[in-house]
Amino acid sequence: MTLSIISALLFTILIEVCIAIIFGYRKKLEIATIILINIITNPLLNYFLLLNNHYEIIKIDTLVILFLEIAVVYVEWLLLKYTLQQNPKKLFILSIAMNFCSYFLGILIFR
């Protein structure tokens, strides 16, 4: 993995774990689940964006970023729901909050 992808992953994990703790998810299983889910989803998204930047597969605009973020929220919610077996509505809100915060803080810090 390139350094930028690793730093993006670590940043995302840090932010999303903090948000999960704020939302009351403090058990080791909950934190480990969030970390593992991000190890799956974050590099996939960043590799796609990296490859797209190199090969110019599609034009990345606000609508595409929104679609990709919605897809990540949905996939992470499904994985949280499957692994934690908790209230799906609360897990969906958690997924939205974690991804919203990591995305916008990432923009503020890395751009």
Write out the DSSP string of 31-57.
HHHHHHHHHHHHHHHHHHHHHHHHH--
Phi-psi region of 99 (alpha: psi -120 to 50; beta: other; left: phi over 0): alpha
Kindly calculate the radius of gyration of the chain based on its CA atoms and give it in whole angstroms: 14
Please tell me the distance from the alpha carbon of residue 97 to that of residue 103, in angstroms, as a whole number: 10
Structure tokens at 90: 């609360």
CA 33 to chain centre: 12
| Model confidence, pTM | 0.93
Exposed/middle/buried for residue 105 (C-beta within 10 Å: 0-12, 13-18, 19+): middle
CA count, 13 A, side-chain hemisphere, 18: 11
Find the distance separating the first CA and the last CA of the chain, reported in whole Å. 21
In tens digits, the chain (111 residues) has pLDDT values of 578 889 999 999 999 999 999 999 999 999 999 999 999 999 999 999 989 998 999 999 999 999 999 999 999 999 999 999 999 999 999 999 999 999 999 999 887
pLDDT in tens, 59-86: 999 999 999 999 999 999 999 999 999 9
